[in-house]
Structures are given as C-alpha cells and as structure tokens.
A and B are shown apart, each in its own frame.
Chain A
Amino acid sequence: MQGQNQQQAYDRGITIFSPDGRLYQVEYAREAVKRGTASVGVRTADGVVLAADRHARSPLLERDSIEKIHKADDHVGIASAGHVADARKLIDLARRQAQVEQLRYGQQIGVESLTKEVTDYIQEYTQTGGARPFGVALLLGGIEDGEPRLFETDPSGTPYEWQAVAIGGDREEIQSFLEEEYTEEMDLESGIELALEALGSVSDEGLDASGVDIATVDVESEQFTSLTEDDVAERVDEFGLEGEDDE
C-alpha cells in the first residue's frame, strides 16, 4: 500500500476511500459484472421470470456447464452476471441461509430477507482488508407471502427491488428496453416474452434458444421451474425472435 506513487494507493486497497469519496475497487468490480453476459428479471402479477444469456464461445463447450440460473430454494431462483466462480460462492450462501431459516424458524425464507443475507455478506468484502469484492451481480426472484418479489445485488452489497431489471453486459440498453415495454398487468407468459425480447434487443443475430436459460417461480405453485431447451425454442419461434441467417 505504501507504493512509490502515493496518488495511486487508494485504488489498490479496497478499504481506502479516494479523496472524492469513492471506493475504486468496488467500482472496478462493477466493471467485471459488465464483462459478463446479461441476465434479466421480470416481475409479473402471477410470478417472476429470470432469463439469462448463456451463449457458448465454442461449439465444443457443453452448454449445460454454463451456469447462469440457479435454484436457491423451492420458491427462489437466482440469476447471475459477472464472475461465475464468485456467483457460485454467493449462491451457496443463499442456499444455506434458506435452510437455516427452515431449521431456525421452520419456515421458508422471504426473498427480501434472503437478498439481505447475501448483500450483508457481499458488503463485508468491501471493508475487510486483504479481500477483494465480489465481481458479480445477482437477481433473486421468488414468492414471499404469496407475492412475487424481484431483487438485485451488486458488488457494493446494496440490495435493490425491481419490477424488471437487467444486469451484466449491455445493461443500460436492455434496461431502457424494459422501461419502454414493461407493464404491471403482465401475466407470466408475457413476462417470459418480455424477458426474451429484452435479451434479443441487443443482439443483431437474434436469439438462439440453446443460448438462453429461463426459469420462473409462479404464485400458484410457488415452485422454481426451469424451462427446457424445447420450451425456450418454442417461445423463441412463437415470438419470432430467432436469428435469420442460420436457422
């Protein structure tokens, strides 16, 4: 930390504020999130939709090994953007905290409580010496007291609640698209359509069904449900979102 160039010291250690009150390492971690492919969350009247771009960089890569959407508990799903390895650590925390709630109180954890468990943990990595912040953002979607809830976590450890939100690469563009197209009255199927369109809105080649992961948690079943590739392909086709050149 006592480098020859004193002026740079505050962007080396995360526990140091810059003179204008910024934490550079946390901001760099946000850049790491932008380097990841996008994930989208949409809250509708009858459930939450999580969708993630998981296109493979090589045709030889097994698609299923790209993890973007995870089940945290029966009633909560988590989508990530940014460092996958960092995401896995936080998702394991979320899964364990969901079970702690069952052991401690004998009840399902609320989506808001679960989000705050995760963000409180992320925050410690912005203040503890010798550590680096998490280079990942998460979307937690689920049902709490019969109501759909959708939250975002960022590398600073701040929780946000959204109606519809994008994280990762092209976030601003996708968010603008969501702001244009989102309506509160949407049903789950329209939510899936909006999420797919939002991911497709930043792609010139259209959507490839095998490169998109979708999961829902609906109010009726309160269960995390992952759509199969065929289900996704059917909808990509139905909504006319597929690429025109190779299909």
Chain B
Amino acid sequence: MSEFTEDPYAPELGSFEDLPQNPQAGNDEDTVNKTGTTTVGIAVEDGVVIATDMRASLGGRFVSNKNVQKVEQIHPTGALTLVGSVGGAQSFIRTLRSEVDLYEARRGEDISIDALATLAGNFARGGPFMAIHPILGGVDDEGSHVYSIDPAGGVMKDDYTVTGSGMQLAYGVLEGSYEEGLSMDEASTLAARAVYAATERDTGSGNGVYLALVTDEGVDITGYDDFDDVL
C-alpha cells in the first residue's frame, strides 16, 4: 500500500533531497554560476510586468554569460525569475512546472497564483538550501499578484518587489516613481528603468533586459540588448 498521506513539503515528482549532494556545491565561488541579478516585479490592474537583467557571473568577478533569460513561464498565466544559483533556480523551475501541469491535469483547472506561491515557499523551505530568491508573478481569478520567495521559504506579497544583488538600486527607482494605477506600458517602462539603474552600478547585473508581460491571456517574454528600446 502507498503512503497514507503525502509529504506536503516535498515535490510530488522527483525529490530535492535525493539529488546527489556535492558538499562543495553552492559554496564554490569560482565554479558555480550565479545570476547576481536584478529582477523586478510590478502588479497592476491588467497584469504583471517582470523585468530581469541578462548577466550570469562566477565568483562575482567574471561575467560567465551575457545573454541569460532570467524569467521563465511556469504557469499559463504566471512567471518566475531566476535569482541566485543558476542550477538551483533551474531545478526549482522544472519542479514547479511539473507541479502546475499535474495539478491542472488532475483537477481540470489551473492552480491559483496564491497556492503556487505557497507551494514554492514549501519547496524552498523543505528541500536542501538552493540559494535562490525568485519573484513569482501571475494573474488568476483573484487578480494580479507579485510575490518574493526567499531562500528560507518566506513568501511575501506586494504591489511591487525586487530581488537580487542590485535590489537597493532598483528599489531606489521604484520608490521614487511607483504610483498606483499604472498601465502595463507604464509599468514596463518603470521596471526597465529600475533594472537599468542596477545594471549601471551593480557588478552582478548588466548586459540588457528581459521583459515578461503576464496577463490573463498568457505570458509574453522578450529580450532587449539595448535599454533604449524599452526606456
């Protein structure tokens, strides 16, 4: 007979705990790719805008990739950013995608963004230390939502949120310019400006911007090497 009750904190398919654990993994500054990163999420009436920079780095001293897409669709109307360890973030995204698909296949309706945030928080907390700090943004029957999910599983909802090494710089822009009732276009420009400020002064962020526009229609992700295209 199967287990009477599944572990609510573990992924249903695969297991974070069962992954081969390299004692050096996550600590090796010279070989583990980090995103550094500035990721910005803004929730407005018509949807959610997410902006991310495009740089990956090694040891905070070397740019290991100049064309990274750090926002991925994980839900028909939801996206997650990659922040922190690239391997940890990619594994996290694969797991959440399969959970979202399984939920829909079984129940005939998409998981709500609130429930997905709770699930993501459980995984971040219940598994090994994945060294990630993503933003979850999405649209459901309740409206538009932006959450930050911290490495210890803390889940916080806000109208706008920033994570990554450039967060203070991006927040400086948002605190000066954010106002209620922004349109999707205005929010896109503001999010890009926030990432731009971070790329100018944070060594972990740079090389352009990806914008994800999430509405009840779906997720549209576009990359821009040149900030002039979006500011």
Contacts and interface: CB of A to CB of B under 8 A. Distances in A.
A242 B72 CA distance: 65
Given A104-B8, A104-B122, A113-B106, A124 B2 contact: yes
Interface in A94-111: 96-97, 100, 103-107, 110
A114 to B, nearest CB: 11
A112 B122 contact: no
A128 interface: yes
Contact of A100 (B2, B8, B107): B8
Contacts of B114: 106-107
A121 B3 CA distance: 10
Contacts of A110: 107
A97 B4 CA distance: 9
Contacts of A100: 5-6, 8
A105 B5 contact: no
Contacts of A96: 4-5
Contacts of A104: 8-9, 118-119, 122
Interface of B: 1-2, 4-6, 8-9, 106-107, 111-112, 114-116, 118-119, 122
A227 interface: no
B106 A124 contact: no
Q: Which 8 A-B pairs have the closest CB atoms?
A: A106-B118, A103-B8, A105-B115, A104-B8, A96-B5, A100-B8, A107-B115, A105-B118
Nearest to B2: A124
A110 B108 CA distance: 12
Nearest to B121: A106
16 contacts: A93-B5, A97-B5, A100-B6, A103-B9, A104-B8, A104-B9, A104-B119, A105-B111, A105-B115, A105-B118, A106-B118, A107-B112, A107-B114, A113-B106, A113-B107, A121-B2
A45 to B, nearest CB: 22
Interface string A8-35: 0000000000000000000000000000
A96 B119 CA distance: 17
Interface residues of A, number: 18
A124 B1 CA distance: 7
B198 to A, nearest CB: 32
B115 A106 contact: yes
A202 to B, nearest CB: 36
A166 to B, nearest CB: 28
A101 to B, nearest CB: 8
Interface of A: 93, 96-97, 100, 103-107, 110, 112-113, 116, 121, 124-125, 128, 131
Given A104-B118, A105-B115, A110-B107, 9 more contacts: A93-B4, A100-B5, A100-B6, A103-B8, A104-B122, A106-B118, A113-B106, A124-B1, A131-B1
A129 to B, nearest CB: 11
A93 B4 CA distance: 7
A23 to B, nearest CB: 18
B75 to A, nearest CB: 13
Contacts of B107: 110, 112-113
A113 B119 CA distance: 17
B153 to A, nearest CB: 12
A234 B116 CA distance: 47
A144 to B, nearest CB: 10
Nearest to A112: B107
Contacts of B122: 103-104
Nearest to B4: A93
Contacts of A93: 4-5
A104 B6 CA distance: 10
A125 B111 CA distance: 30
B6 A105 contact: no
A52 B54 CA distance: 64
By CB atoms of chain A within 10 A, which of B2, B5, B118 has the most?
Answer: B5
Contacts of A131: 1
